[in-house]
Structure 1
Amino acid sequence: MLVLLWLFQTVFLESFYKAIKTQNIKSTAENITTNINNENLDTLLSTLAQRNDTCIRIVDENFANLYSYETTFECTIHKMGVGEMEAFRQKARQEGGTAFELISRDVMQEFRGKVEKKGWNMPPPGGNMRVENMVYVRLVERADGSQVMVMLNSTITPVGATVETLRIQLIYVTVILLVLCVGLALLLSRQISKPIIRINRSAKELAKGQYDTTFSGGGYREISELTDTLNYAAKELSKVEGLRRELIANISHDLRTPLTMITGYAEVMRDIPGENTPENVQIIIDEAKRLTDLVNDLMDISKLQSGAMTLSLSECNLTETVRDIMARYMKLTEQDGYHIKFICDGEAMVSADEIKISQVIYNLINNAINYTGPDKNVTVCQSVRDGFVKLEIIDTGDGIAPEEIPYIWDRYYKVDKAHKRAMIGTGLGLSIVKNILDLHGGAYGVISTVGQGSIFWFELNTLEPKKLK
């Protein structure tokens, strides 16, 4: 801005001044031309001459004055002889009816008093002063067919003193503005940098694992928003860290229990005669399978969340898949008194990865068995409508609090903070269910009321059912 001020107020000031004066004298000539036949032309010319500080002279074809208004001393057009006026007329005819020229004249010493009144730069005593006049001539034809020559003269005031005055003012303005700008820049930089420094310091603490770090910003809106975002991120990281530790504790428990049983039964079979029985061997096999299931679930959840697992879609009978899974729970129902029912309203054919959908159903039933009420009732309901099949797994347990429901699908989240070893499965089931159903594009959810059990459900698109043989 300072550079622009310097350029416009000093370097280009004279050019702008001349351009404005040129436009003004041409506009005055156009106004006179338009009103050349007006009966009030005399009044109009007087007004224009006084308002624009312009000399006006209109002569006929013989250069006799028709109108004459002299508003400045040393007016060029009023000092012209017949020869000069004829030269201007010839020039105007050659240039399409108008002629424009800048004429410089020396102002004689006898006009010194008039110059002083004008406030112009004064020459040394006894010297002359150079004044530049702008002369504009236009040939105009009147209504009676006669041609007149409109002559305008405008004096260009020397701007040297003005430029020097402006230059001195701009020097002061520049110095003051630079000082203010430097001071303002330092103030703003300090206001901006202080909260950023505090945020940076807190971020380093967060990077060291101190998740209770609080970010304090303030000041500008963007910094306040960044502070809120970082505080939220620190809070979420703290939750994840807590859940990670809990998961490690849970998995350690799940690994330690079967390993302890395997080790214990193996030592019994080694040290005590007659204990090498099929029953003891079967226990060792069962616990080894439990370890395998845990490892497989951990691998599955990692693949699902990283996007490495893909689907192998095929046409399958969802109803038959549920029946096959229910058969696997027969021994459990016989030994531990669980009552698991399957209710369906027909066969449902879907396009899905049968193995992974089986894993979804298995994990949901296993979750219901783990958390059902003292009556040990679990109900699986299948309903087909409007091109969808809906599967609901219902338990009679304690239910889930409303504030806990959004988090039950999380990878590390457990509603029951006191670890309970799953009778079947590993405790990662719901996270696996969520990711598999997301891959299939199926809807899913849970309906739960504290003290009245829970209903876990999911939906898939159905295909035309085939006739069963």
Structure 2
Amino acid sequence: MRKLSLKLGIIFFITLFCIETFMMFFLHVSLTNSRVEEELASLQARGNSHRTVLEQNFNEETLAHVVLMESNESTDVVVTDYEGTILVSSQPDLEISDMIHKIEGKIPYEGRILQDDWQEVQAIATISPIQNQQRTIGYVFMFQNTDSIHALMKRLNKHFLIVGLVSGLVTIAVIIVLSRKLAKPLIQMKEATLKMSKGDFTVALSTNGKDELGDLSNAIQLLSNDLNHLRHERKEFLSSIAHELRTPLTFIKGYTDILSKRDLTEQDRQKYLAIIIEETNRLSRLIKDLFDLAKMDENSFVIEQQNVHLNSFFTNIEKKLSPAFQEKGIHFIVRYEEGLTVWADEARLEQILINLLNNALIYCASGDTTSVTAKKHNDVLSIIVQDTGKGIPKKDLPYIFERFYRVEKSRSRALGGSGLGLAIVKELVQAHGGEVKVSSEINKGTTFELSFKGVETDENHFMH
């Protein structure tokens, strides 16, 4: 937690510090230059004002009056003639001879700044020419000590330092809050993934965010839910396998012990052998179904598709299963359009229908009806397996294609299979690129509808 929030905090602080430093430096320079320009403009205006007075009366009385005006101010005035000879000065000790001799070129009537480098010189200075009938007769030099400017800059620097410290503390506080706020969901996600890596999938993350962190949180939460569901399914799967394997093995072992330890009549011996054979076949079918599902999960299950003629296919289905339905007193009907062909694996297609019809055989009673109908709509083959048996409760319909799921919770052997038949049906249909749907009502029956693309009504080879 500290590492992540510290890294985020350092990044934010460096970024904001650079921005604030640049802005404060720019503001400081702007204020300083603006203030110095104001002082120079004021000094120049004061010199021009004295120049105007002297142009009206350029005599000793006026000169004295100008000096008197500056004697109580923070500025000083020096008046010279055209040759540079000092006529009057408000500061006798002021040394301006070097500056006077350095004046070059014509001085404009609005005056000129002589010294503005307040950091290097003792005083800033301006010059204003005194004219009489368009002829320069003297100059007014204005001086202002830079101590006041330096004092102003010190106060300004002090204020900037205070503002900088306050803004720095506020920035640090904001960064701490923001970095923790940003780091908190990431830390929660890290802790959630650590819990998941240890097999604990009871993760509860906030999924209200609409940004990338929210998307990541949603993805981790979804992954946790899926893994939790898979773990539950795995436990159920292993429990179901153990139960399904234990039942036939128990029968086989029990009747084998009876045959080996008791003197039995030939009739009893044959009866027990028949049970052992039946349970062995049951165990063999279960193992075969498990291998098929394992291959499907690994995508190593091969579907060998070819052009299947449905006339002969359904005729074969009817021959194989009619005796079983007749024995139980169930009406078995097969209907199909003539001349249909479909691109499919014939053996797997037969396995699909046999699994569905076996279910109908188990859950139908004498007098019920089971029908198989095949028809074409556009290029889609629909195979409908419908029965009038006991039906499936509505609450169980979403789960009947799950492995080892049984509507009959008692797992009665009289009601049949291992709970893998419909799971295999769904996998095989999807392997053909098809779709399976189911609808059912209690005591009215169940309908399975299979849809396969790639059906034709002629003998041409058709691939979808």
- Contact 1:198-1:216 at 8 Å conserved across structures: yes
What one-letter code is carried by the residue in structure 2 that aligns with 1:463? E
- Of 304-313 and 393-402, more deviation after overlay is shown by 393-402
Cα distance change on mapping 1:245 and 1:378 into 2, 3 Å: farther
Q: Distance in 1 between matches of 2:446 and 2:110?
A: 100
Task: State the one-letter code of the partner of 2:163.
Answer: V
User: Could you tell me whether the CA contact under 8 Å between 1:9 and 1:163 is conserved in 2?
Assistant: no
Q: Any residues of structure 2 matched to 1:234-383 within 5 Å, and which?
A: 234=224, 236-270=226-260, 271-275=262-266, 281-372=273-364, 375-383=367-375
| 1:15-30 alignment runs, 5 A limit | none
Q: Is the 8 A contact 2:332 2:369 kept in 1?
A: yes
The CA deviation at 1:215 is: 2.3
Paired AA for residue 456 in structure 2? L
Which residue number in structure 1 is paired with residue 165 of structure 2?
Answer: 175
Unaligned runs of 5+ in 2: 1-15, 35-40, 50-66, 77-90, 120-148
Question: By how many angstroms is 1:205 displaced?
Answer: 5.2
Q: Which residue of 1 aligns with 2:455?
A: 462
> Contact between 2:251 and 2:276, CA under 8 Å: does it hold in 1?
yes
Letter aligned with residue 312 of structure 1: E
Aligned residues of 1:250 and 1:419 also touching (Cα < 8 A): no
> Tell me, what secondary structure is at the counterpart of 1:301?
helix
Could you tell me which of 9, 18, 21 is aligned with 1:3?
A: 18
CA-CA distance at 1:432 after TM superposition: 1.8
Q: Matched residues in 2 for 1:320 and 1:153: separation?
A: 117
Equivalent AA in structure 2 for residue 275 of structure 1? E
Q: Is 1:391 aligned to residue 359 of structure 2?
A: no
Contact 2:370–2:385, Cα closer than 8 Å, also in 1: yes
Separation in 2, partners of 1:268, 1:293:
25
Which residue does the alignment assign to 1:215? 204
For the residue of structure 2 that corresponds to 1:215, the secondary structure is coil
- State the 1:231 CA deviation: 5.7
Letter in 1 for 2:411: H
Give, in whole Å, the separation in 2 of the partners of 1:12 and 1:416: 82
Higher helix proportion: 2
Q: Is the 8 A contact 2:404 2:418 kept in 1?
A: no
Match of 1:41 in 2: none
Equivalent residue letter for 1:172:
I
**Equivalent in the alignment of 1:185:** 175
The separation in 2 between residues aligned to 1:431 and 1:124, in whole angstroms, is 113
| Residues 369-391 of structure 1: CA deviation (Å, up to 9, x unaligned) | 33345644322111123222210
For structure 1, list consecutive stretches of 5 or more residues without a partner in the other structure: 20-52, 55-69, 76-108, 118-122, 136-149
Structure 2 partner of 1:433: 425
Shift of 1:153: 7.8
Letter matched to residue 458 of structure 2? P
TM-score of the pair, normalised by structure 1: 0.61
Take 1:348 and 1:151, find their aligned partners in 2: how far apart are those partners?
Answer: 111
Number of equivalences: 370
Distance 1:439 1:275 in 2: 49
**Within 1, Cα distance between the matches of 2:235 and 2:308?**
40
Q: 1:194 and 1:438 mapped to 2: Cα distance?
A: 43
Aligned-pair RMSD on alpha carbons?
A: 4.9
User: What is the identity, as a one-letter code, of the residue corresponding to 2:397?
Assistant: I
Q: Distance in 1 between matches of 2:242 and 2:255?
A: 20
1-side partners of 2:154 and 2:444: how far apart? 93
- TM-score with structure 2 length normalisation? 0.62
User: Cα 1:306–1:151, aligned 2, differ >3 Å: closer, same or farther?
Assistant: farther
Larger CA deviation: 274-283 vs 244-253: 274-283
**CA distance in 2: counterparts of 1:321 and 1:301, whole angstroms:** 24
CA distance in 1, matches of 2:446, 2:427: 20
Out of 91, 94, 99, which is 1:126 matched to?
A: 94
What letter corresponds to residue 305 of structure 1 in structure 2?
A: D
